[in-house]
Amino acid sequence: MSRLYIVDTTLRDGEQTAGVSFAKDEKLKIAVALADLGVDIIEVGIPAMSAREREVIREINELHLSSELLVWNRMSISDVKLSIETGVQQLHITVPASDLHMQKKLGITRKELIKRMNETISFAIEKGCKVSVGAEDASRTELNFLIQLYKEAVSQGAHRVRYADTVGRLDPFSTYHIIRSIKEEIGVDIDFHGHNDLGMGTANALAAYKGGAGYISCSVNGLGERAGNTPLEEIVTAIRYVEGCEEKMKMKKIMTVSKMVEKYSGRKVQDSKPIVGKEVFSHEAGIHVDGLLKDILTYEEISPEIFGRHRKIVLGKHSGKHAIKHDYQKRGIVISDAEVEQILKELRQG
């Protein structure tokens, strides 16, 4: 399988989560941690938002991280000018592509949209910027027009296009076919940007990759608007262990970044959250624990050690005899079968 490139948007779309605002030092630390993790591209923010935002982006740029940096822009020359002030040379320009967004947000026609997009791209290219173009609300945009829009963007110099499932309405089957159809028509890389409103963010991203998207936008812990974005920790794990795809993530550092974002965002990670949840490598059920003690592969597809974590066997109502013996043996205590039976009885009585 071809290599997957990760575009992390924790500092942009992640920070757009209602009630989340990172302090300057927090954004700097997250950027450093993402680069250390092995993220290919960090979407660091929106320069047009404020002078403070531009200052933080400039400081991140001056760190000369191993990751590429990307700044987000509306379809606006004034936005592009402010982005250039930050020193970041890679710009993303988003285009409200659906008729709904064109008519209700901008009050313009398709022809006017393409004209404005082309002018913005051309200006950025003339200033020496590297440009990617994203179709906002792509999943509610007529496919033929979407392909036309992408072709126009590429003709103006865009080196990559983004397909944004802005409201998280797609399923994996339609995602695969849509991305494959686009890939057959355009000659540049595709970045898939999904949301998790229907709980299919990771599945859709995986389907997009299989359909030909070489770049996936995601965020740490799935942080993002409404139900969040495709979680970085889930897609990089799925790509590696489901598809056998190459990527350069340092998997043992995922927990460090996850906890950092959890702390700075104030958004608690659920205990059962795949990969990074507190209890996702915990086992209690007697049949499961018995199997694990005989062969880990019986009830674990992915080893916690990959992420620098450890499995935990918990004693409780559903425990069996083997779990009790194992728990006491770990502590160097030998107990009789009668004692095991008594402990089991007490556990099951709650």
pLDDT one-digit tens code per residue, 269-279 = 999 999 999 99
In a domain? residue 277: no
258 and 287 within one domain: no
Burial 202-241 (b: 16+ CB within 10 A, else e): bbbbbbbbbbbbbbbbbbbbbbbbeebbbbbbbbbbbbbe
- Give the end-to-end CA distance of the chain in Å, rounded to a whole number: 50
Instruction: Verify that 256 and 302 share a domain, yes or no.
Output: no
Which pLDDT belongs to residue 199? 98
Over range 117-138, report the average pLDDT.
98
Among the three residues 220, 237, 265, which one is the final residue of a domain in this structure? 265
Cβ neighbours of residue 299 closer than 8 Å, sequence gap 6 or more: 283, 288, 291, 292
Residues 314, 168 share a domain: no
* In a shared domain, residues 106 and 219: yes
Whether residues 196 and 340 fall in one domain = no
170 and 301 part of one domain: no
Half-sphere exposure of 300 (CA within 13 A, CB side): 23
Answer yes or no: is pLDDT of 1 > 70.
Answer: no
Same domain, 227 and 317: no
**Domain boundary pick from 265, 297, 318:** 265
Q: Residue 287, Cβ neighbours under 10 Å: how many?
A: 12
pLDDT of 43 reads: 99
> How many domains, the chain?
2
Q: Which residues contact 178 (CB under 8 A, 6 or more apart)?
A: 139, 143, 163, 170, 211
pLDDT band at 246 (very low <50, low <70, confident <90, very high): low
Tracing tokens 């592969």 back to the chain, one arrives at: 297
What is the tens place of the pLDDT at every residue in 196-235?
999 999 999 999 999 999 999 999 999 999 999 999 999 9
User: Is 270 contained in some domain?
Assistant: no
Query: Residues 6 or more apart from 111 whose CB is under 8 A from it?
Result: none
Least confident segment among 16-25, 128-137, 273-282, 308-317: 308-317
Look up residue 125 and give its two tokens: 């290219």
The CATH number linked to 172 is: 3.20.20.70
Average pLDDT over residues 145-154: 98
Q: Which of the two residues, 201 and 294, has the higher pLDDT score?
A: 201
% helix / strand / coil in the chain, to the nearest 5? 50, 15, 35
Q: Record the pTM.
A: 0.93
Q: Sign (positive/negative) of CA torsion 138, 140, 144, 148? A: negative
Would you state the pLDDT for residue 342? 81
In a domain, 28, yes or no: yes
Q: Are residues 86 and 146 in the same domain?
A: yes
**Which residues of 173-313 form beta strands (DSSP E)?**
189-193, 215-218, 282-283, 312-313
In angstroms, the CA 9 to CA 134 distance is: 14
| Residue 125 in domain | yes
Which residues lie closer than 8 Å to 337 by C-beta, 6 or more apart? none
Per the domain annotation, does 309 fall within a domain?
yes
- What's the rounded mean pLDDT across residues 25-35? 99
Judgement on whether residues 245 and 287 belong to the same structural domain of the protein? no
Domain range for 57 is 5-265
